[in-house]
Amino acid sequence: MKGDNDCADPRQNVDGPDGPALPPPPPPSAAVPLPRASREGGTSVFPFRAAHLKQLTLQPAQAAWRGRIDGEAGAALEASSLAWTLFAGGRVIGCGGVIDRGGGRGEAWALLAQDAGPAMLAATRAVRRYFETAPFRRIEAVTAVDFRPAARWTRLLGFKSEGLMRAYCEDGGAAMRWAFIREDGSWPG
């Protein structure tokens, strides 16, 4: 998804590692309900807060994204109410959502922790349910061709490949464009 590897929209870094103190995770009552097995595993989804990004230890393939969602962009994502944060064991293990591109079109994005693996089944279920309720007829995603785990997760979420985009990434590398569209039955479910 957008945010994978270095296929990125460059942003300015606003706060360094010595930035303001981070708020604690939201109370459990604010969590979006997950399937029973996910709750038992200690995985919860909460509304996104820009401060959650600072709590996230990104996987190496996404490390270039550290700081690219600046204060203004983070605040806009938070205000959109179209973004989520995934917690497991009281820690942030992922942030993501959909950016409204207008005309019923959205663009999915996700940033995941380097140790999110054990929570990925619960994360996949939660994100699929989130997409099912999103107010879009089409949701697009972009993954770097050389970051295969992103393509695998994108397929598991119900996206279909729409093709290769050559020289799309910052380093000149190729990326894949993905989408699912409600009308063609490819909506996750």
39-50 confidence digits (pLDDT tens): 435 778 889 998
Asked if residue 162 is part of any domain, the answer here is yes
Predicted confidence at residue 61, as pLDDT, reads 85
Q: What is the pLDDT of residues 138-181, one digit of tens each?
A: 999 999 999 999 999 999 999 999 999 999 988 899 999 999 88
Q: Which segments of 83-188 does DSSP mark as H helices, in order?
A: 120-133, 148-156
The Cα 89–Cα 59 span in angstroms is: 18
Residue range(s) defining the domain that contains residue 166: 43-184
Asked if residue 9 is part of any domain, the answer here is no
Per-residue tokens: 155? 């397929």
Q: How many domains does the chain have?
A: 1
Per-residue tokens: 176? 């894949």
Asked if residue 66 is part of any domain, the answer here is yes
Number of Cβ within a 10 Å radius of residue 96: 23
Please name the helix (run of DSSP H) or strand (run of DSSP E) that holds residue 43, with its range, or none: strand 43-47
Asked if residue 57 is part of any domain, the answer here is yes
Asked if residue 2 is part of any domain, the answer here is no
Asked if residue 170 is part of any domain, the answer here is yes
Asked if residue 127 is part of any domain, the answer here is yes
Number of Cβ within a 10 Å radius of residue 59: 21
Please name the helix (run of DSSP H) or strand (run of DSSP E) that holds residue 36, with its range, or none: helix 36-40
Q: What is the pLDDT of residues 93-116, one digit of tens each?
A: 999 999 999 999 999 999 999 999
**pTM here?**
0.75
Asked if residue 86 is part of any domain, the answer here is yes
To the nearest 10°, report the CA torsion of 86, 92, 94, 98. 60
The contacts of residue 171 (CB under 8 Å, 6+ apart) are 6
CATH number of the domain encompassing residue 54: 3.40.630.30
